[in-house]
Amino acid sequence: TQLLEQSPQFLSIQEGENLTVYCNSSSVFSSLQWYRQEPGEGPVLLVTVVTGGEVKKLKRLTFQFGDARKDSSLHITAAQPGDTGLYLCAVMDSSYKLIFGSGTRLLVRP
Amino acid sequence: DAGITQSPRHKVTETGTPVTLRCHQTENHRYMYWYRQDPGHGLRLIHYSYGVKDTDKGEVSDGYSVSRSKTEDFLLTLESATSSQTSVYFCAISGQTNEQYFGPGTRLTVT
């Protein structure tokens, strides 16, 4: 059983559409990170959320940490082809190691 | 971008041969990590290091060993490569926070 469940696993949308992807768990976390990975490259950190209910914005990307700190969402407004990639959420386990979800693969068609 | 490089970037090797992957950083970060990434499994931790000569096992450490003799270098060795070790390998570094910075990856194929 995965500690972090990401959904959907795959999403294909048209340029200009909005979308939301989710990262869920039954455990409580002190913080949660979102990474984006483009084809052929390593993941790049987008944001870290720390406080329950926290909302962070990064241009057209909006990240929210659930009130109970068990889940998070990433909303993209007016998606562009440059948003294409694998979106990964990650949390720190009790041994201070990052645990990753399996990711949501996003394809934005021109 | 964090100064982190991996070598080689691509490698094809035969089953049973030893393979060493190198991760090099210029950030003087304390923590270094090796992950493998496979379809459907995301990123899984192989080994990590919390200082020179200080290493520990991750989730999928069987068949792998690591060494860190200098702050800037973290080596991952497959003593006898198997086809199940065909994967993309990523090195990552982190400093005082839990935010990790990844290298560009090494694509390893074991035939």
The answer to whether the CB atoms of A40 and B99 lie below 8 A apart is: no
Distance of CA B69 to the CA centre of its chain: 15
pLDDT one-digit tens code per residue, B70-105: 999 999 999 999 999 999 999 999 987 778 999 999
- For residue A94, the model assigns a pLDDT of 75
Q: Does B88 touch chain A (CB under 8 A)?
A: no
Contact B49, B55 (CB under 8 A): yes
* Residue contact A33–B102, C-beta within 8 A: no
Mean pLDDT of A89-95: 85
Per-residue pLDDT at B70 = 96
Closest-CA residue to B56 (of B74, B79, B42, B73):
B74
Chain B residues in contact with A102 (beta carbon < 8 A): 40-42
Please say whether the beta carbons of B20 and B80 come within 8 A.
Answer: no
Q: How confident is the model at residue B111 (pLDDT cuts 50, 70, 90)?
A: very high
Chain B residue with minimal CA distance to A93? B98
Answer for the pair B11, B111: CB distance below 8 angstroms, yes or no: no
Q: By C-alpha distance, which of A66, A40, A38 is closest to A74?
A: A66
For residue B2, what pLDDT is reported? 61
pLDDT digits (tens, 9 = 90+) for B22-53: 999 999 999 999 999 998 778 999 999 999 99
Instruction: Give the β-pairing of A10-14 and A104-109.
Output: parallel
